[in-house]
Amino acid sequence: MSESTNPEATPDTAPESAAEATDGQGDTSGTDTVDRAAYDALRAELDTFRRDVVAVTGRYAEAHNLCGVVDSALAELGLRRVQTGHRVTVSLVASWDVKTSSRGKAGAPSDSTVWRQIESLAANLRYDSVNDVRRRFGRDGGDFPNLEITTADVKVETADPGPDAHIIPAVRKRTCSACGYSNNPADVDECRNCEDDMSDDNDDD
């Protein structure tokens, strides 16, 4: 009599040990470690294949301007192209002449006066180039006389996307018992399809 097998068994549903696979029948001492190692190896192979799929399809998507189509296809497989983030830090040195009112007290301008000018300069640099700001505000009689801006340092940091960045996190869904629609978010009590109350329905496993 042949042994029954589960045709839908995948690395994600592999038994934790030989004892689970045999339902406790037979002597499984010494086999748990072997089964676990084989399971881990299969999971690693599957993850490598997933990464290769994402890398190859992503390369073709960008080369042929098919990013939207490829993203949709990958999403059906629970995958996504890895977006690597970069943080750019630029240090600028700005110097300008600060005018004090002839009616005021003699001496250097207050910190609050300088900070107001710094905030104004930063606001203008946000929308205009350095040359435009220097031309508009750095002339004699402008807001920042004799303005000079130089780049002191540029640093680019690449963020680590993480080992599972190519996998779309699983989202629990809820199936409506009234109409059978199965794409309702688990935290929603009203069916998106028939608007029936699903507060008594269980989440999908």
* pLDDT at 159 > cutoff 90: no
Is pLDDT above 80 for 28? no
pLDDT of res. 40: 87
In DSSP terms, 166 is beta-bridged to none
For residue 2, pLDDT beyond 60:
no
Cβ(71)–Cβ(80) below 8 Å: yes
- Domain map of the chain by residue range? 1-81, 86-158, 171-205
pLDDT of residue 57: 92
Q: What percent of the chain has pLDDT over 70?
A: 77
Query: What is the Cα–Cα distance from 70 to 57, expressed in whole angstroms?
Result: 7
More confident residue, 134 or 3: 134
Q: Residue 3: what pLDDT?
A: 45
pLDDT in tens, 96-130: 887 666 555 567 778 888 888 889 988 888 888 88
- Sequence-distant (6+) residues with CB within 8 A of 176 are 182, 184, 191, 193, 194, 196, 198, 201
Structure tokens at 69: 């189509």
**CB contact set of 78 (below 8 Å; sequence gap of 6+):** 167, 168, 170
User: Does residue 144 come out as left (phi exceeding 0), alpha (psi in the -120 to 50 range) or beta?
Assistant: beta
Identify the residue whose tokens are 């629609």.
181
Residue 17 pLDDT > 50, yes or no? no
Residues 50-100 have pLDDT tens digits of: 999 999 999 999 899 998 999 988 888 888 888 778 888 988 898 988 766
For the packed helices 130-137 and 111-127, what is the interaxial angle rounded to 10 degrees?
Answer: 130
Q: For residue 67, report the phi and psi dihedrals to the nearest 5 degrees.
A: -60, -45
The pLDDT of residue 49: 92
- Asked if 129 contacts 113 with a C-beta cutoff of 8 angstroms, the reply is no
What does pLDDT average to over the chain?
78
Q: What percentage of residues in the chain have a pLDDT greater than 90?
A: 8
Distance, in Å, from the CA atom of 203 to the CA atom of 30, rounded to the nearest integer, reads: 38
User: Mean pLDDT: which of 45-59, 132-146, 190-204 is highest?
Assistant: 45-59
pTM: 0.40
